[in-house]
Structure 1
Amino acid sequence: MDSAYIQIGNLELALAALLMLINLGLSAWLRLGLGRQLVLASVRMSVQLLLVGLILEWIFALRNPWVVLLLAMIMGTTAGIAAVGRTGRRFPGIYRNSLLNVLFASFLVTGLAGQGIIRFQPWYDPQYFIPLLGMLLGNALTGISLALDRFMENLVSRRAFIESMLCLGATRWEAAHREVKDAVRTGMIPIINAMMVMGVVSLPGMMTGQILAGADPADAVRYQIVIVFMIAASTALGTLGVVMMSFFSMFSSRHRLLSAQLLRTQSE
């Protein structure tokens, strides 16, 4: 493409920040009480992204595999903790389950796609590895969080039915397979909905960013398709893994529901 890359400076960032006046105006007009939260979220987002930009510039220049892996582990750990933070109920081992599945799904799919499809070299090239992993972590986090929340709420709402099934001789899988399937389905809904309207209703951020940076639209589209398939795969792996680990955590090998372990994180 013959388009020049248009840089955005501090003045342009300041002008973009003025767009938040729309949100603040609506909050004040409708008395939503969101003014402080909007300002705090805007400042926090801007500071975090600017700091990340500086860190990534340093990592891109350094190109050290251990530094890249350290940053990747920090990102994965943060995602695993954040996924649990959005759930209303907890049980012993929930953070471990979330962390293991976020890391496993995101790292596995990034590695397979990075070396089998995109084929960037070296394998730890931060220009590719970190952005790809970040996109997968963000979406896997959402799927895992939704699935965990739905699974635990279903166990509570259908506790009487599940325990009745167990008392009648059903195995733990026979008594709770419906809850497992419903939780996995819930975790997969966001990415499926996004795929259904992508390119018609919405233009994905990565593709838009590449086009704005001067990339050929056809190349940007192909990259975006690969990324979406990667996201769908990692979300499916992470969601299924965390629900199954939670299933085995909440049901004993003797086919009993360990409902005493299910704790509410806020007052009923």
Structure 2
Amino acid sequence: MDISWLALALFMLILIIPIAINQLFNLKLGKDISIAVVRMIVQMLLVGVYLQYLFSLNNLWVNLTWLSVMVVVGASAIISKAKLPKRALFMPICAGLLLGLVPVLLVMMLWLFQPTPIYSAQYLIPTAGMLLGNCLSGNIIALQRLFDAFEQQQHQYQGALALGASPKQSAEPFARTALQQSFAPILASMTTTGLVSLPGMMTGQILGGIDPIIAVKYQIVILVAIFTTLTISVTASISLTLKKLLNHSGKLAFNTHVAYGS
């Protein structure tokens, strides 16, 4: 069942509720809410039109170019939201996203979905989008926690170096905590999926008339793929960031306080 443009426009009136809450509690988020909603609508409409074209074209190089754009934009978003130094960390984070995305995407396309052609945009682009989209928050949390630790627990790091630990060993507790905290949200989500929440993909398929068991199978695949991609991506990003941040003597290559500057 299609949703008419009028029905969609009327449904948007529900945004009165968060706007009212913003006013009631003086959250000062009115501008942020307006920008987020307008950008979301414009971007989604443009993506919808573009995907129609992309699906009909279904060209390997165009699809790969679009995937590259998704990775670059994703890396930029991570750096921007985490307030990290872009010049130093753009390549490590891009590499982390690619290392997480490519192996899982290949397994899904070559073995599980097996579309014809194998690079079918209808399968490749939405799947990559779901995997990358869920990697963003995990990377942001992990990198913020890592830089927080270097800023607030510098004495612990320096103490480990003074006792003879290598830079990698000295930073290991910070990396471990960052990874644990970045994995916590998705683990909590997976634990409650099916009981507390029904994921969007599964709900959309059921509303579209797909058998619930088939929808469940696809959702399980996506959740496992997201978790695997996230763990690889965040681990790679943290590891590559530490290599960029620490020199052989353990001295920081740049001031971690810069990461939280304006």
Most deviating of 236-245 and 168-177:
168-177
Q: Which runs of 4+ in 1 moved over 6 A?
A: none
Corresponding letter in the other structure for 1:128: Y
In 1, the alpha carbon distance for the partners of 2:237 and 2:255 equals 17
Find the counterpart in structure 2 of residue 201 from structure 1: 196
SS at match of 1:93: helix
* Unpaired segments ≥5 residues, structure 1: 1-5
C-alpha contact 2:179 2:235 (8 A) present in aligned 1? yes
Most deviating of 237-246 and 101-110:
101-110
Shift in alpha-carbon separation, 1:14–1:260, aligned structure 2, 3 A: closer
TM-score (norm. length: structure 1): 0.92
2:46 to 43, 51, 64: 51
| 1:51-200 correspondence to structure 2 within 5 Å | 51-90=46-85, 93-200=88-195
Find the counterpart in structure 2 of residue 258 from structure 1: 252
C-alpha contact 2:175 2:238 (8 A) present in aligned 1? yes
C-alpha contact 1:68 1:126 (8 A) present in aligned 2? yes
In 2, the alpha carbon distance for the partners of 1:115 and 1:99 equals 23
In 1, the alpha carbon distance for the partners of 2:226 and 2:183 equals 10
Corresponding letter in the other structure for 1:192: L
1:217 to 208, 212, 221: 212
SS at match of 1:186: helix
* Unpaired segments ≥5 residues, structure 2: none
Residue 222 (structure 1) shift: 0.2
Residue 138 (structure 1) shift: 0.6
SS at match of 1:18: helix
Shift in alpha-carbon separation, 1:40–1:246, aligned structure 2, 3 A: closer
2:35 to 37, 40, 50: 40
Shift in alpha-carbon separation, 1:89–1:176, aligned structure 2, 3 A: same
C-alpha contact 2:157 2:170 (8 A) present in aligned 1? yes
SS at match of 2:3: coil
In 2, the alpha carbon distance for the partners of 1:174 and 1:39 equals 46
Shift in alpha-carbon separation, 1:36–1:234, aligned structure 2, 3 A: same
SS at match of 2:127: helix
C-alpha contact 1:89 1:263 (8 A) present in aligned 2? no
Corresponding letter in the other structure for 1:262: T
Shift in alpha-carbon separation, 1:83–1:260, aligned structure 2, 3 A: closer
Residue 118 (structure 1) shift: 2.1
Residue 91 (structure 1) shift: 7.4
Q: Are residues 1:228 and 2:217 paired?
A: no
In 1, the alpha carbon distance for the partners of 2:143 and 2:30 equals 31
Greater per-residue helix proportion: 2
Residue deviations 1:16-54 (CA, integer Å, cap 9, x gap): 111111112222233333333323322211111011000
Corresponding letter in the other structure for 1:170: A
Q: Are residues 1:18 and 2:32 paired?
A: no
Find the counterpart in structure 2 of residue 3 from structure 1: none
C-alpha contact 1:250 1:261 (8 A) present in aligned 2? no
C-alpha contact 1:207 1:220 (8 A) present in aligned 2? yes
What is the root-mean-square deviation of aligned Cα atoms in Å? 1.7
TM-score (norm. length: structure 2): 0.94
In 2, the alpha carbon distance for the partners of 1:31 and 1:188 equals 32
Residue deviations 1:111-140 (CA, integer Å, cap 9, x gap): 112212222222211111101000000111
Aligned length: 262
C-alpha contact 1:163 1:257 (8 A) present in aligned 2? no
Residue 238 (structure 1) shift: 0.5
Residue 259 (structure 1) shift: 5.8
